[in-house]
Amino acid sequence: MTGSMAILHIAVSVACVVGTIIVFRLEPVIALVLGAAYLGLATGQGYAGTTTAIAEGFGAVMAEIGLLIAFGVLLGALVQALGVPQRIAEVMLRGFGRKGVPYAHGLSLGVVLASVFADVLIVLSGPLTRHASSRLGRDGHGLLSGAAIIGITAGLVFVVPGTALMAVVGVLGIPVGQALLFALPVGAASIVISVFLYSLLIRMGLWSERHDELAPVAVAPGSGDAAGSGPAPARRADGPGAASRPADDTADDTADDTADDTADDTADDTAGAERPERRVPLVVLASPLIVTVTIIITGAVLGILGVSGVVVDVLGDIATALFIGVCLAYVLARRVLGRAELDAAVGTGMKTSGSILILTGVGGSFAELVGGTDAGDYLASLFDAGLASPVILTWIIAAVLHAAVGSITLGALTAVGIVAPVAEAAGPAGAVLIGLAALSGALFGGLPNANGFWLFKSVYELTVRGALKTYTLGPSISSVVSLGLLMGLWAVTV
């Protein structure tokens, strides 16, 4: 099959996956498997090849990030039960105000925590984002989710030791210090500008809480969950059945709810002095996260410095760092929380990680079938390094490749491989800017063929529409903004 037909079938399969989920409300797992099956059969990979690729793609994702997701979600559930995200959200609001929180959130995830594996950072930042966004008013979840993914992806490609940046730097043979001299300012500026532009779109009506966020699940009074998590969450006012309720019943329920809330608040305030977690400093409650991130950063820095040994191997293993964090959080939770609350937190983490693992693994199956086509080779053959500015050309190649294969790092590396002769001839500064152009382009167009799309959707509790408006749109804005910055630097320095 020709490369052009492979591209067409990839586009059709992605469109069908998104369309069936949004229009027909088909379960994403089913839609992904059907889309992957169509792609494999349509591109000539055969029934046996298609089923094998689906299994291998699922297994490859589980081998690469399965433990990271499981440990990360469990760690997040434990620190959430300890009240860490809620208290950090309050600190952020007091320190930066409502208008400053999105910028602080994006910069902290993109610059301060750039060394943390992107998928892990998505998992760990989810609870904090949800709690902080609830205090930002209408459309706050959409705004802060977009700011978060803008920061996470910018850190991946523009801040040392972001994995994508380090891969491109290694391929081009660029000194890390020289790359950071250009990359860090571009990354920080693109985060700030992109969050500003994204917030403008939110204010213009981009976000719909009803259609872009997952509604709370209604639970019958007293039923709770298997772990005994307490009172049932309320159904949204616009949920099914809300319009059919008599006005008198609604008024009575409102009065009852108000009275119950007042009584609950009074009881909570009375018992507040006795609750042990109220007396524990935030730095202690957050210590599992602090230790985990410190281990990951230390391992990354030692790796850059060329230090080797058993200790470095342990520190450099992200799954080990997360497991240490889980153990610390579990010990702390046993001392601070009641047994029922601890069991509920662990049960929630196990349940949540299971659904995320399945959805992310199936996304890996889809990506495996895309990789089985010759779409990448065909796209590479379409470009000639002499047709346009090297920065623009490289950006276009990386953007198209990322949309096709669903990987930021792979898209950037392939683009750099194509334009490597041009980069070598452009001098030290030019080579850096061409490498950064590949990374910038690879931020564009994160589609459902990326397993990160489904991970982000699940952890941030978004619909497919909501994920497209955040995971896809946010980094795409950052991609275009950073391209403009790189073109300016090219004009000045080369």
The DSSP secondary structure of 33-46, one letter per residue, reads HHHHHHHHHHTT-H
Domain limits at 437?
Answer: 3-213+284-493
Instruction: Report d(CA 66, CA 270) in Å as an integer.
Output: 43
Q: Is residue 258 part of a domain?
A: no
Q: What is the pLDDT at residue 89?
A: 81
Decide if 352 is inside a domain: yes
Given a cut of 80, is residue 363 above it in pLDDT? no
Report residue 225's pLDDT band, with 50, 70 and 90 as the boundaries: very low
Residue 408 in tokens: 């930021």
87-110 pLDDT, tens digit per residue, is 888 888 888 888 899 999 999 888
Backbone angles phi, psi at 21, to 5 degrees: -70, -45
Q: Judge whether residue 248 has pLDDT over 70.
A: no
Which pLDDT value is given to residue 229? 35
Amino acid 377: pLDDT: 67
pLDDT of 131-184, one tens digit each? 888 888 888 999 999 999 999 999 888 987 677 887 787 777 777 777 778 888
Mean pLDDT of 28-32: 84
Residue type, 397: I
Percent of residues, the chain, with pLDDT higher than 90: 25
Q: How far apart are CA 78 and CA 414, in angstroms?
A: 40
Residue 271 lies in a domain: no
Higher pLDDT, 119 or 117: 119
Model confidence at 254, pLDDT cuts 50, 70, 90, reads very low
Average pLDDT over residues 415-421: 74
Asked whether residue 361 is assigned to any structural domain, the reply reads: yes
Q: 275 in a domain, yes or no?
A: no
Domain count, the chain: 1
**Lowest-confidence range among 28-32, 102-106, 216-220?**
216-220
- What confidence score (pLDDT) does residue 475 get? 95
Within a domain: residue 397?
yes
- Counting Cα atoms < 13 Å in the Cβ hemisphere of 174 gives 31
* CB neighbour class for 244 (10 Å; exposed up to 12, middle 13-18, buried from 19): exposed
> Residue range 183-207: average pLDDT?
94
The pLDDT of residue 272 is above 70: no
Highest mean predicted confidence (pLDDT) among 23-32, 247-256, 371-380? 23-32
Residue 474 pLDDT > 90, yes or no? yes
SS3 213: strand
Instruction: Report the pLDDT value the prediction gives residue 141, as an integer from 0 to 100.
Output: 93
Provide the angle, in degrees to the nearest 10, between the axes of the packed helices 473-493 and 390-405.
160
pLDDT greater than 60 at residue 486 = yes
* Residue 134 within any structural domain of the chain: yes
Beta strands in 207-286 (DSSP E): none
**Distance separating alpha carbons of residues 448 and 363, to the nearest angstrom:** 8
- 429 band by pLDDT with thresholds 50, 70 and 90: confident
The verdict on residue 227 lying in a domain is no
**Residue 366: predicted pLDDT:** 78
Confidence label for 491 from pLDDT (cuts 50, 70 and 90): confident
**Calpha distance 466→473 (Å, rounded):** 10
